[in-house]
Structure 1
Amino acid sequence: MYANAPNDKPWTVPMLAEAKRDGRKLAMLTAYDTGFARVFDENGIELILVGDSLGMVAQGHNSTLPVTVEDIAYHTTCVARGLKRALLIADMPFGADATPERALAASIRFLQAGATMVKLEGAGHKLETIRFLVEREIPVCGHLGLTPQSVLRLGGYKVQGREDTAAMKLREDARLVEEAGATLMVLECVPSPLAAMVTAASTIPTIGIGAGPGCDGQVLVLHDLLGLNTGHRRPKFVKDFLAEGGSVAGAARAFGDAVRSGAFPDAEHSYA
């Protein structure tokens, strides 16, 4: 059905660690409805994220901050109906993980809606939340580097970890996120050498977005994959796979094959 995908079994959390040990790259895309989820699932995408990116690409906001728990739960329900094989991850929206108890309540909503894992941005006080959720049998994906929910503090969407002190902190945060119990980690807008070091030091898979080819997998937002104009600045790491694949299904296959072969991202789509 699709090239270079490892198997047709439904993806489970333990399979992520197996993929890293075996050196198999993972392809992740965002989806927000049943139709796109089904196409991606049928064409070899291992991981689907209901991202809070929906606030910018689907709802028309200027940031992810307005997205609510109800929004994520609704779209997770829609996406789950289209999946047979891919592992579904639900994003924790801004403020929903302010305390471990709030994060637990949101996570229960998302898992009951069909997700297998929840994603949290940052480290620091979030480490307690990660541990709290994992102890209660909720799989967690961490997210370091550029964390879009921190856009106000960061002053915009900027590459993270270029200075030595920032790079050391990111490496330590990655260690702590893994130690807290996360089983997957997104690295966003991080210089390629730094992301490669974090990946080499980690026993859990890293998924890059603007983090170079050294990660254990890659993710793109649906609209970026298809070259759609979202009304926002086009990041360097974005590539239009629709032009290459000729259809939505072809774009998903082209993306998956490029990730697994190591062809994407190349230097043109990475930060030094």
Structure 2
Amino acid sequence: MSDNTFTYVKIPVNSEEPIEELSASKSGGLEKDALVKNAKAYFQQQSNSDQPSCEIMALSIPLPGNQYRAVSLYSSDLPGASTKENERATKLVTACGHSLPKAICGDVFIGRAYDNEEFEWERVDFRASDASPTAAWCRVARQKGGGGGQGGSASSLNSLVQQQMNVSGGPPHVVAPQTQALYGMDGAPAVVEDWGSWTQSADEVEAKLSIPSGTKSKDCKISFKRNQLSVAVHGETKISGILFSAIVPDDCTFTMEDAKDGTRDLCITLTKANEGSTWSFLTETA
């Protein structure tokens, strides 16, 4: 890849289609950014609209904690745009610590930029591997000062607003993500995993595992750490990994309940350290 080009990605709404890496020239800078131009042209063609337009969502704003790397998502705001949820994009948004007023719909583009006021604004690479909810930059984003939902600020969207105005000449459509019942949140369907399922509320996450009847507390070994959870039953590891977000270990508990099918349920309650955050997964491999 040339020093004069950058990589960004397209995440198709059809989850069976691969995430596509695209490249464009850096020469336009902030005022004539190629990613915004290309995204608007793509959405205009999709919607047969007379005007090019797109909505910009700040996933991570530039802060010292993320080395001034901003990540933004570009979706269609035109009439006739797809109303089908882009599940991969929605998961990525919540993985940055944001909650959502609505699901992300249709095809989307995601790009990254270096945005430090002491230096010139510049596009930097965002690759397909970065479009995973378990990517390192997502973990940074959802921490305090990391630029995502735990460290974001509406005032830090100035560069995006200016970018939108310069490229389109029209009013900006820049949004910061905000809440919806997703990922087992507040009555939404439980998230099903290989080991069981989990749900969440604003301040807690509850994981439920089916265990053999007759299982006692002494048969369960559960370790609560601020950023990790491990669960073993009868010596077999069921869950072991890094949590989506920090918990308060001393407030976490587990109980066992008899299930209707004759087995038992191991119910684990995790207290969120960041109350109000929406988790998009429970653990990733440690």
The answer to whether the superposition gives a TM-score over 0.5 is no
Q: Per chain length, whose mean CA-contact separation is higher, i.e. which structure has more relative contact order (CA < 8 Å, sep 6+)?
A: 1
TM-score with structure 2 setting the length: 0.22
Structure having the larger proportion of residues in strand: 2
The structure number with the bigger radius of gyration is 2
